[in-house]
Amino acid sequence: MLSNFIRESDRVDLTSVEHAMGSKAGKDGKVYTSKVSAILSDDQLEILMPMEQTKLILLPVDAEFNLIFYTKTGLFQCFATVIDRYKSNNLYLVVVELTSNLRKYQRREYYRFSCALEMCSRTLVEEEIKSLEESHPMILQPNMPIKRSVIVDISGGGLRFMSNQKYEPGSMLYCSYDLLKGGERRHYEVVGKVLAVRALENRPDTYEHRVQYVNMNEAQREEIIQFIFEEERKNRSRS
C-alpha cells in the first residue's frame, strides 16, 4: 500500500515524461518540486500544485510525469498521470494516478530498459583514446573494422550488450546504434568503457558486456532517457 511508504507532506519531484514530445508542462525537462497532500487510494495521490517562485505551475490533465518521493525511509520512484486538478480550502491541488509500481530509487541510478537493438562496436585506437583523454573532439579513424552486436538493456548511464567479440574490461569502445524516438530514427555514436565481461554458459562464444558512457554530451544523454520513458509508456499502455 502507498501509505506504507509515502506520507502526507513528503516532498515529491515531478519531471514530465513527454517534454520532448511537446507537453505543456516541463517541456524543457525542468524538475518541479511539491508535497504530497493526501493518499487517496493504493494508486492515487493528491499533490499540491507546484510553484516556481510566486508562479503557480498548472499541470495539465492527462500529462504523465516521473515522480521521485523523498521519505523518511529513502527515495522512491514511479510514473503517474494527472487525472484531475482543483482548488480546495485556498489550495491548488492535483490528483495523480500511478501507472507503474513504486520502487526504491538511488540518486545516481539510471533506470535500465530491456530491449533488443542492433549495434556496431570496436575498440578505440591509441590516437582516439589520446584525444579523448585530452578532452579534444575525437576524430574517428576511417575504415576501421567493426563488429555487430545486440544491446539487451540501455540506460542514461550505459548499456549492456551481447557479442561474439570479447572485449577486455577497462577497454574503450566506439559504439554506434539507432533509436526510434518520436517516430524519428536517430543515430548515436558514443564512447563507452567496458566495466565487466562474462561468457554465457548456454551460448558458446557469446559474451555479455557492461559498458559505461564516457564524456557523453548531456543533451544526448537526455535524449536516451526520453527514449526509455517513451518505450516504457508504450509498454504500459499495451499491458
Q: What is the pLDDT of residue 28?
A: 47
User: Do 46 and 148 sit in the same domain of this protein?
Assistant: no
Residues 186 and 228 both lie in one domain: yes
pLDDT at 141: 86
Residue 20 is predicted with a pLDDT of 34
Amino acid occupying residue 233 = R
Please calculate the CA angle 163-217-124 and round it to the nearest 5 degrees.
40
CATH code for the domain in which residue 219 is found: 2.40.10.220
Say if residue 99 is in the same domain as residue 126. Answer: no
Final residue of a structural domain among 72, 105, 138: 105
Domain that holds residue 86: 2-105
Q: How many domains does the chain have?
A: 2
Print pLDDT tens along the chain (239 aa): 788 899 999 999 998 875 433 333 444 457 889 999 999 999 999 999 999 888 999 999 999 998 999 998 888 988 899 999 999 999 999 999 998 888 887 655 577 889 999 999 999 999 898 888 776 677 888 889 999 999 999 998 899 999 999 999 999 999 999 998 778 899 999 999 999 999 998 888 999 999 999 888 878 888 888 888 788 777 766 76
Residue 210 identity: R
Same domain for 43 and 17: yes
* Helix and strand counts by DSSP (H, E) for the chain: 2, 15
How far apart are the C-alpha atoms of 116 and 206, rounded to whole Å? 15
Quote the pLDDT of residue 89: 92
Sequence-distant (6+) residues with CB within 8 A of 235 are none
